[in-house]
């Protein structure tokens, strides 16, 4: 029972975090010059990844709320893709490209959230074919 409550909390976090990610990324990607200037030295591929990942966050959050088995794979995939983008960001930084420190911090935060989510979901949801308690 406790695990299912955790899933509900994670679901809410994922949906809210996803909605915020979509809104903020969309404002920069599709907004006016002032919105783009406010982010400073944005790294375009990170910005696009985060914007698109926001939709995956929302979808996974809805799946978590419903205790869908596929959210195990989705959480792992989100964490893995975030890690890969994080590595690519490190390469860009090492090469001397302009970036914002808040971008690096945000990527660490995203990776942490989705790694923890993947672990909790893996332990909370029953194996495929079994019913949730």
Q: Where do the domains of the chain lie?
A: 2-124
Residues 13-44: tens digit of each pLDDT: 999 999 999 999 999 999 999 988 888 999 99
DSSP string, 81-97: HHHHHHHHHHHHHHTT-
State pTM to two decimals: 0.89
Contact between 63 and 74 (Cβ < 8 Å): yes
- Report whether pLDDT(132) > 70: no
- Report whether pLDDT(133) > 50: no
Q: Please list the helix, strand and coil fractions of the chain in percent, rounded to the nearest 5, in that order.
A: 80, 0, 20
């Amino acid at each position: 029972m406790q695990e299912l409550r955790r899933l509900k909390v994670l679901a809410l976090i994922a949906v809210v975090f996803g909605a915020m990610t979509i809104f903020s990324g969309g404002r920069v990607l599709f907004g006016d010059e002032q919105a783009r200037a406010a982010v400073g030295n944005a790294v375009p591929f990170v910005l696009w990844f985060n914007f698109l990942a926001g939709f995956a966050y929302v979808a996974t959050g809805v799946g978590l709320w419903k205790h869908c088995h596929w959210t195990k794979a989705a959480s792992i995939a989100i964490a893995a893709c975030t890690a890969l983008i994080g590595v690519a960001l490190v390469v860009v930084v090492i090469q001397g490209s302009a970036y914002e420190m808040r971008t690096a911090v945000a990527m660490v935060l995203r990776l942490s959230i989705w790694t923890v989510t993947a672990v909790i979901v893996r332990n909370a949801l029953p194996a495929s074919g079994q019913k949730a308690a």
